[in-house]
Amino acid sequence: MRVYLARDLREASKNCAQKNRELLENTGIIMVNVLGAPGAGKTSLLEETLKAFMGRYRASVIEGDLYTSEDAQRLERWCRGVVQINTEGACHLEAGYIGCLLTREKEPLLAGTDIIFVENIGNLICPAEFDLGEDIRVSLLSVAEGNDKPRKYPLVFKEAHAVVITKCDLMPYVDFDLERAVEDLRLLNEELEIFPLSTKTGEGVEAWCSWLKKQLESRTKTK
C-alpha cells in the first residue's frame, strides 16, 4: 500500500508535479511549460516552433484557456494532437490536470510523443507559482509590454529556463530598451537563456528552435 500524504492543496499539487516529472523522465519525453501575459504571443511562438519541428519530432500540445478553443484550432494542423483545457475563469493550470492527460486511458499523451508543449493561461503572476512537472519553463515578454516587466513580475522570469522576447518587429515603434531588459533578466537569474525574436518576420525563431532541439536531443540520449 502506498500512503499518499497531502498536507494541503499546495502540497498535493507539488506531489502531482513530481509524479509528472518522473513519468516524463521514464519515457524520455520533454514537457515545455509556456508562460506569458495575455497577448504576449504564446500561440504564435508555438505555431512557429511546431512548424520547425514537423517531420522531425512528434509534438503534442496542452492548450490552457479560460474559455474558447481558438488557439487549439490554430495549432492542431501543426502537431500530433492538441488537448484543450478550459478553466472557466481559473487563472492558472495545475499539475493534477496535466497528470490526468498524460496517463488517461484513451489517447494518453505519453504515447507516441517526443515533446509536449503546455500553453498556460495568459497571466504573468499566478501560473508562475505552480510547477506542472515540466522539464523546461519558458516565459514570454512582448516588447509592447515594456521593459520594466522583469522588475515588476520577477517570479515568472526568475524561475524560467528561457525567456523569449516576442514581437521584436514592433521595436521601432515602442519604448523598449532591450539591453536593459536583458540586464534585468540576468539579475533575476544569470543562467537564463534569452531569445529576442519576431514570429512575424521570422527573425530569431531559428535560434530558439535550435536551443529547444538541443534540449530534446540531450534528453533522448540520456534516456
70 binds its own copies (CB under 8 A): yes
- DSSP structure class, residue 118: E
* Residue of 32, 35, 37, 93 that binds its own copies (CB under 8 A): 37
**Three-point CA angle 213, 216, 222, nearest 5°:** 140
By rule CB under 8 A, what count of residues binds its own copies? 33
Q: Are strands 162-166 and 136-142 parallel, antiparallel or unpaired?
A: parallel
Q: Nearer Cβ to its own copies, position 30 or 164?
A: 164
**Three-point CA angle 55, 59, 63, nearest 5°:** 140
27 binds its own copies (CB under 8 A): no
Tell whether the torsion through CA atoms of 143, 147, 153 and 154 is positive or negative: positive
| Amino acid occupying residue 162 | A
Find the shortest distance in angstroms from Cβ 157 to its own copies.
12
Among 10-18, 95-103, 112-120, 122-130, which window interacts with its own copies (CB under 8 A)? Answer: 122-130
Q: For residue 123, what is its C-alpha cell?
A: 497571466
Residue 125: CB atoms within 10 A of its CB come to: 13
39 binds its own copies (CB under 8 A): yes
* Residue of 48, 114, 135, 145 that binds its own copies (CB under 8 A): 145
Find the shortest distance in angstroms from Cβ 212 to its own copies.
24
Contact 167, 161 (CB under 8 A): no
Residues engaged in binding its own copies (CB under 8 A):
37-39, 65-68, 70, 89, 91, 121-126, 129, 142, 144-146, 148-149, 151-155, 167, 169-170, 173-174
